[in-house]
Structure 1
Amino acid sequence: MASDRADRTSPSWHNLPAKIRQTILNALLQTDGSLAPYATVSREWQAVIEPHNFSRLKLTIPRIQQLDSMTFRTQRYVQYIWLCLELEEYELEEYYPQGMGDADSHAIGKALYEVVDALSSWCDRPNLVLDISIHSPSDSAYWFKYLTFEPDCPFNQRESEYSELPGLSVPAITNCGSDDSDEIEESDDSDDSPDLETDDDAIYFTSYQINKVFNQIVVKGPVETTMEGHEWWQGMPLARAVTAVLFRQQTRRRWPPKTMMQLLSRFPRLREIHYEPWREWDDGMQKRTDGDYQILFHSVASSPLKKLTVFENFNQRYPIYFERCSDSRNLNYYVARAIARCLELEQLSASFIIDAKHFFQARGRDWEWLSLTTLVLTSGLLQPLGDHSTIQHLLFQAARAALRMPKLELMEIWNGLEGVAAVFRYQTPRYKANREGKPRPTVMTWRGTWKFKLLVTLIQSWEHVTNKLHGDELVVKTESLSGRLIASHADAIHHLGIAELAIRPVSQRQIRAEHLAGEEAALVAESSADSGSPDASS
């Protein structure tokens, strides 16, 4: 009898109100550590924890063949796959010619084929992001000790806080080096702050050392296959489940645009591409790459893509190590024209790979971006010592183009270098009224590290755009920014408040970490020189 009374009076999970149970489960999802053991508590806990655990996967080469078997029951929960391809380690004194070794090339080709083949059997879903990274553990072992290799978003970030790109709710995972328990992983706790080395090697390189980690990616089929090139790619199945692909800047090795085009053709339902290449360190090679970019973006223009982000990364210190590398990238008009021809996009961001002036100059008379809501571009004209009249002309061109964008909500034209940052922003409110029911105006803002006066006629042009597109009032703002805050283009993004569409947050943080490492190394070298240390001459 006493036992029966205890059963009736003891606390029970199911006796708790539904709202309290939901609050507890939500709090549990935000805790650190693996949640897998909690899925065994009850069916209710399993129904909440399993979708959370399996929504994001890290996939390494040794476990690709087990992708289907390991997600047989939970496949429907998967929204993001981080394909982390690890190359062979190399010795400090080894020399590789341009490109990579055959073993790595075949391993990448085999891995890509197996992943696409596995995903070809997956049913269509609203969002499935494939995030592809390539690196060697040796990359951060010698010179680039600040490099980190991470997934797109930290694990403990709530879904509502993620960027606009759907499905990008991913865990923070430590460097994807090989270990004895290599597997398809769920979340993994790690300190995502970069390890900033301050020895001289963190900044003072040779061209050989830089090229080592910027080798071209070569994708080859299995050694035993007789198929070559295009034929091999066309033999790869179609993976209709994939809706977004990420190529983030932490992969310093270069994806040939033609290889990317072949790979992307395997995803017929692709709606989003986020591509963060690095500039070339040879002007002649850059011209050839720009020619291939034209082909790539022409193919994108004829696809059903809705969102395109291209962010060409660079390091302002690297050109000094190369004889045929200009300090400033010579931007190609025809690449801009190919990107501008993507008329069906809803969101477009192209930073540093083209100039906004070329984008607007390339506009055909009958071109209209009928679905475009967001446009983010960079322009080298935005310089404090430049001709201000050319900036005014650029913004006039932007206004004329905006009249061909009936759904435009945000346009940003910006630039950022060490000590220099500026943005021209035109933004209409997504919600026309505030909580009090008062109308929200459309706002045009200039924010920069130098004073710039918008001409009255320019303001009138944008008032015409506002009236025609939105019927709103236009408010003009001018904001100042200290150049001392800008150590890199990543700092400029942060302090200008550039739309998150422009670059993945983890990429921005990695760029800032690289420049911070360089600054600290420079201070160490300067201190050694001032003190007469023997290291000063090394």
Structure 2
Amino acid sequence: MAQLSDLPLQVKHRILAYLDSSAPSNPTKFPSQSRRSELGLYASVSREWQLFFEDRLYAHLVLTQHCLANFNKLVPRQRRLVRYIWLRILLGDYYCSKCPDSLSLKVTFSNMLDFSESISGLFCIFNSWGTSPGNGLALEISAYSPCAVTHAVKGDEYLSSDLVEMQDMVYSKGLLTDDLAHGWKDGQLLQSHDANDFYDIKGVLGFSLPPMPLDISAAHVVTDLIIRRTTRLFITVGSIRQILERLPNLRHFIYEPWRPFPGCMDLSYGKIISESLLKTLKTFNWFEDFNEEAIRVCHGGGPSNEIGRIETDLYHAASVTLARQSISFEQLTGCYSVDAVPFFQAVDFRWTWPSLTTLSLTCSLFAMPEKCDEIATLLERVGMAAQRMPQLQTLDIWYGMRHHAAAFRHRVTDSLIIISWQGTWDLNLESQEDGIVATAWKALARLQGNRILYIATYRPVKVEDVTSHAAAIRLLEIDRSVIHPASLEEITRETKYYFST
């Protein structure tokens, strides 16, 4: 009788891959323990099955601070299989003024200690793995409280960064029941949030975490760092700096902090740029996230003064500093925490960006159609800078929020340089073939292999379709590197609970 071992290797691997894909998942738990248990059983069948399924078991790991002792027992063979680790630090419940049995603020001190000790513990383990980066290891760090989805923002989603599974961290749909204290009935929000919903819930507003122990070990094996919007806490600039300083082989950094509410602490993001980014870094994706309903409520029902915010010293300095550091990057995206105007004003046209292939920046001017002359001047300057970027393939200058979206896009083909305008209003690039914008980009086309400049036809975006900044990213077809795909999906899902009244 024919045995599985008699089959050709390619056929055997297809059968084993089918077992992997058919392993059951449990959407009420995160991560899916049933799936990992199933794969563990498969791996115990034989040496051949072990080698096949261990690769899937260890490639993407989710750890909490309580898992580190067992994680430290991985043998060298298993370590080499690890490609992605999510350190998901579990915190205690948060204080909420609408919950009579809410815990004291003293719990936050325990959370601070958990955060610091978890990072230190994991980096100590990494340090024992050696000094060679090997094949590269991605590390995601988040801090999360299970109660974050049980208060006013219970409609928010928390997804796994595993893009194969894209699992819910909490099966939050089951939590959307009657909760009149927070304004919910039958899974629907009955009234608009008030400011206390956002200021009182520490999982949304966040708090300052202390610097970590100075003896934290270097993690040479980590090449990618991800801090997604899943962490709603304010992680201090000092803590971020300490993490970066202990990653000597870091090449890729995804950073998605939350925008502070009015009257909150100064986050001093610019210090991360000016003092912490490593010379080894090749890719930097920086996305400042926000909840548009929170902005509306905390500004007393009116929109935030976006231009005034960008023109503050804090955001201007971050944009200027990032411009100076951009010449060493291969990919750079800066959204909402960076603005294209001060960025390109700081550019010296003697600079050269020898390796930059992707650049994406938000521009608050794009929210004001009446300033089309200033926008044209900016795009001329962008075109002149692009002439010093010989490898540039993708450039997006854009802006998006609820009911507003606009983007200037640049793409390269074998024979063409393509520029286009898309959005809820038209800049009318097509009628300006001899204008300052077209002139600058024609010069770029000639420099890059004597290509031809093609100005694409304007494609309008319907105002009613732009339900959030995530919708704007999708409708404008912005390069998806501006935000982690799981984060983009989270914002899209959450939109249905924003703007409810």
TM-score of the superposed pair, with normalisation by structure 1: 0.79
Change (3 A) 1:86 1:470: farther
The residue that corresponds to 1:134 in the other structure is 143
- Amino acid aligned to 1:86: L
Change (3 A) 1:71 1:246: farther
Q: Which of 204, 214, 232 is residue 214 of structure 1 equivalent to?
A: 204
1:358-373 pair list within 5 angstroms: 358-373=342-357
Q: Which of 289, 301, 304 is residue 327 of structure 1 equivalent to?
A: 304
The residue that corresponds to 1:469 in the other structure is 448
1:243-258 pair list within 5 angstroms: 243-258=223-238
Distance in 2 (CA, whole Å) between partners of 1:485 and 1:495 is 8
1:8-407 pair list within 5 angstroms: 10-33=1-24, 34=35, 35-70=39-74, 73-90=77-94, 92-93=99-100, 94=102, 101-123=108-130, 124-154=133-163, 157=164, 171-175=165-169, 198-200=187-189, 203-207=192-196, 209-212=198-201, 213-220=203-210, 229=211, 233-282=213-262, 285=265, 288-289=266-267, 292-301=268-277, 303-322=279-298, 327-329=304-306, 330-331=309-310, 332-342=315-325, 343-383=327-367, 385-407=369-391
Change (3 A) 1:452 1:366: closer
The residue that corresponds to 1:6 in the other structure is none
Is contact 1:233-1:263 (8 Å) kept?
no
64-73 or 360-369, larger mean C-alpha shift: 64-73
Matched position secondary structure for 1:414? strand
Deviations 1:60-94 (A, max 9, x none): 12111221114554111011111111111246244
Is contact 2:357-2:392 (8 Å) kept?
yes
Change (3 A) 1:210 1:72: farther
Distance in 2 (CA, whole Å) between partners of 1:193 and 1:216 is 24
TM-score of the superposed pair, with normalisation by structure 2: 0.84
Matched position secondary structure for 2:11? helix
Deviation at 1:259, TM superposition (A): 1.7
Q: Which of 441, 460, 471 is residue 439 of structure 2 equivalent to?
A: 460
The residue that corresponds to 2:32 in the other structure is none
Deviations 1:96-146 (A, max 9, x none): 66x972111111111111011111112422221111111211111121112
Matched position secondary structure for 1:381? helix
Distance in 2 (CA, whole Å) between partners of 1:131 and 1:16 is 40
- Amino acid aligned to 2:451: D
48-57 or 232-241, larger mean C-alpha shift: 232-241
The residue that corresponds to 1:184 in the other structure is none
Is contact 1:348-1:374 (8 Å) kept?
yes
- Amino acid aligned to 2:456: K
Deviation at 1:319, TM superposition (A): 2.9
Is contact 1:100-1:216 (8 Å) kept?
no
Q: Does 1:412 align with 2:396?
A: yes
Change (3 A) 1:100 1:31: same
Q: Percent identity?
A: 26
Deviations 1:327-354 (A, max 9, x none): 1341121110111122211100000112
Deviation at 1:50, TM superposition (A): 0.9
Is contact 2:124-2:218 (8 Å) kept?
yes
Distance in 1 (CA, whole Å) between partners of 2:197 and 2:19 is 49
Deviation at 1:296, TM superposition (A): 1.1
Matched position secondary structure for 1:424? strand
Matched position secondary structure for 2:344? helix
Instruction: Structure 2 unaligned segments of length 5 or more: list them.
Output: 25-34, 177-183
Distance in 1 (CA, whole Å) between partners of 2:64 and 2:229 is 19
Change (3 A) 1:471 1:279: same
Matched position secondary structure for 1:350? strand
The residue that corresponds to 2:483 in the other structure is 503
Distance in 2 (CA, whole Å) between partners of 1:138 and 1:396 is 49
Change (3 A) 1:470 1:425: farther
Change (3 A) 1:89 1:302: closer
Change (3 A) 1:27 1:442: farther
Matched position secondary structure for 1:423? strand
Is contact 1:146-1:194 (8 Å) kept?
no
Instruction: Structure 1 unaligned segments of length 5 or more: list them.
Output: 1-9, 158-170, 177-190, 221-228, 433-439, 523-538
The residue that corresponds to 1:443 in the other structure is 418
- Amino acid aligned to 2:372: H
Distance in 1 (CA, whole Å) between partners of 2:248 and 2:41 is 38
Deviation at 1:149, TM superposition (A): 2.9
Is contact 2:397-2:407 (8 Å) kept?
yes
Change (3 A) 1:31 1:195: farther
Change (3 A) 1:301 1:84: closer
Distance in 1 (CA, whole Å) between partners of 2:255 and 2:168 is 22
- Amino acid aligned to 1:333: H
Distance in 1 (CA, whole Å) between partners of 2:215 and 2:135 is 26
Is contact 2:284-2:331 (8 Å) kept?
yes
Is contact 2:417-2:445 (8 Å) kept?
yes
Distance in 1 (CA, whole Å) between partners of 2:46 and 2:439 is 64
Name which one, 1 or 2, has greater alpha-carbon Rg.
Answer: 1
The residue that corresponds to 2:27 in the other structure is none
Is contact 2:335-2:361 (8 Å) kept?
yes
305-314 or 16-25, larger mean C-alpha shift: 16-25
